[in-house]
Every structure is written in structure tokens, then in C-alpha cells.
Amino acid sequence: MKTNILILLWLFVSFNAYNQCKGFTKKECVPQIKPFTYNGQLNMAVLNPGDVAELIVTFYKGQDYRLFVCAQENLGKIEFKLLDSERNTIFYNKEHDMVNYWDFHSNATQQLIVQVRVPPLEEEVAVAPSGCVSILVGFKE
């Protein structure tokens, strides 16, 4: 019985986290992509410490892009990387004060990978925090 209650609690917390995520992304994240034009595709997930999410995206030749990684504060500073198709690192925010956005200009059309990671917990806790992480892409004409 106790297990069932715990599972129900876990389900409730998960659904609640997802609902919070939706509101958070729209209210807190999307407006911050300006002055770039948001590409309109919502990439958001509820993540836990240590989780990694990836976005596969095409950058067109000669176009300017902004990558914006938006996360709830309880998750801590989110790491993000831009990798080329062979997974070589092009940009790593750890080298730039864990900044949450960066602009890119590519001289060639290419498929790139945006990789984000929620920092792992430094010590064991009873209930690991979870929170919303969104990866937004903006472009300029």
C-alpha cells in the first residue's frame, strides 16, 4: 500500500513538473530569443540531475543563429555544447561562464547537435530535483 502511494505521488509530481514546464518555457524562455526570430519548434523536457538532452538541427549557410538554453533555477547551471556531425565540440558554455545563450554563424549548411546536461548532484539526496529544460533556436534573415 505504501509503495502504491509513493508511485502515485511520483506520477503526480511528474505530471505537475511537465505542466510547470509548459508554462515556464512559454513565459520565461521564448521571449528571450529576441531579436532573433524563433524557429517555432518547442524542444522542452523535464530532466533530472545528470540527464542529457540533444537537439539535432540544421544551420543554413550564411545565416545567423541563436541557441538559447533555458532551465528552471533548481537544476543549477546547465552545460551546453554545440557539436558538429562527428561530435567534435564547436562551442562549450563551460568555457564562457556557463552562459545560457550564444550566437553562431556558419559558412556552410550543416547538421549540428546541441547537447545540454543538467549538472549531477554533488551528494545523495532523498528526492532528486527535476525541472524544465528548453532548447530554443532563433535565426535572422
Partner 1 sequence: MKTNYLFSIIMLFLLLGCNTKNTQQNSDNDTLNLIKDTVHTNRVKKIFYNVPSPIEMSTVIQRSGAVFRNDILCPYKNVEKYTSLSKQAIMLGVYGANLSYVRLFEQIQLAINYLSSIKKLCDAIDIPQEQGSLAIQRMEKNIENKDSLLQIISETYAATDSYLKDNGRGNTATLVILGGWIESLFIATQIADYNNPSNKEIIDRIGEQKFSLNNMIELIKAYPDDKELQLYLPSLLDLKKLYEEVNIEYIKGEVKTDANKKLTTIYSVAKVEIKKETFEKIKTLAKQIRTNIIKY
- Would you give the end-to-end CA distance of the chain in angstroms? 58
100 vs 127, beta carbon nearer partner 1: 100
Q: Is residue 116 a contact partner of residue 53, using CB atoms and an 8 Å limit?
A: yes
41 scored as a contact of partner 1 (CB under 8 A): yes
Minimum distance of partner 1 from residue 104's CB (angstroms): 5
CA 134 to chain centre: 4
73 vs 83, beta carbon nearer partner 1: 83
Grid cell in block for residue 69? 538554453
Q: Count CB-CB contacts under 10 A for residue 64.
A: 15
> Is the alpha carbon torsion for 45, 73, 29, 70 positive or negative?
negative
Q: Is 110 helix (H, G, I), strand (E, B) or coil?
A: strand
72 scored as a contact of partner 1 (CB under 8 A): no
50 vs 125, beta carbon nearer partner 1: 50
Which H or E run includes 8?
helix 2-24
DSSP state of 96: G
110 scored as a contact of partner 1 (CB under 8 A): yes
Minimum distance of partner 1 from residue 60's CB (angstroms): 6
32 scored as a contact of partner 1 (CB under 8 A): no
108, 125, 126, 127: which one binds partner 1 (CB under 8 A): 108
Which residues lie near partner 1 (CB under 8 A)? 1, 4, 7, 11, 22, 25-26, 30, 37-43, 45, 47-48, 50-61, 63, 79, 81-91, 96, 99, 101-111, 113, 115, 117, 135, 137, 139, 141
